[in-house]
Structure 1
Amino acid sequence: MPLYAAIAGFALYLGITGWRYLALPFPALDTLEHPEVRSPAVRNWQAQGEEWATRIRDNGWYRDDSLTLRRLASLLGTNETYVSRALNEGLGVGFSDFVNGLRCEDVAAALAADDSRPVLAIALDAGFASKASFNRAFQRRYGRSPSAYRASHKR
């Protein structure tokens, strides 16, 4: 019973409040002031992608074998959508291709510098989690196996 009384009291309050403002004219939509509608800012995703790629390369974040898009976005101080758009639209590559490309560059530089460690050790240090993923990415990037690449850069 107290709940019904409270609801009835609230309904009575709304009715009286509405009745008090009954004489006021309802504003027409064309007389209301509209805030200026601004179009969203157009971003240069290519410049953003290049800037972030430089930061990722300089900080060596790609060497983390458990790097994810979410983790990379938090390291860059932005969200996953922006990182993904900067890579896809700005640089024309997906996240995994981008990261594996940086890792392959790291391995290729070590092989060209005549690093005496085994190729797999270099690949694991560069951030690859397995031999198969490393070989596949390196072959796609350079068109030859890592050992053939090393042999072609022997002095």
Structure 2
Amino acid sequence: MSTSTLLTSLFEHKAWIDPLFFDQLDKVDAAAHPEAHHQALRILNHIHTVDRIWAGHLKGEPHGLTGTNTEDTPTPAELRAAFARLDAWYLDHVRSLRPEQLDEAIAFRFTDGDAGRMTRGEMLAHVVTHGSNHRGAVGVWLRQAAGAPPRDLLTRYLHQHEPERRAS
């Protein structure tokens, strides 16, 4: 499997699992579990904010953000829609890359002003692992208020979307 094919699978998984977390968040009674609802939403907002930052770096455009979360918290519906748009952008971006572009080094500034330089492939890998890590934290909050969180497993995604993989 090529690196670009692997990244495509990882971003397809991301685009599949992100809405499932919002589906579970919708089941949380915010009045009965205000802290769990707020914390899950804030962490999801952090994931999205960081995704926006790295999309800006990948595009070579200013992202306009000064931190890894926003001061205001969007509504779940607003954030769900924003996730869908950005997940679609990442999928289009990854699918459009030629393999040699993954090794392209890109200079950027972190939100604290420090300089950075990473390859396009490293940036994309960071986006995937960062979101996965924080979805685990969201899952802890969701479990407290709405039962089991979505099963965020690449194996589940692959076998659900390509059932022929289960054939022996």
Task: Please tell me the TM-score bracket, short chain as reference.
Answer: under 0.3
- TM-score normalized with structure 2 length: 0.20
**Bigger CA radius of gyration:** 1
Q: Kindly indicate which of the two structures has a greater share of residues assigned to strand.
A: 2
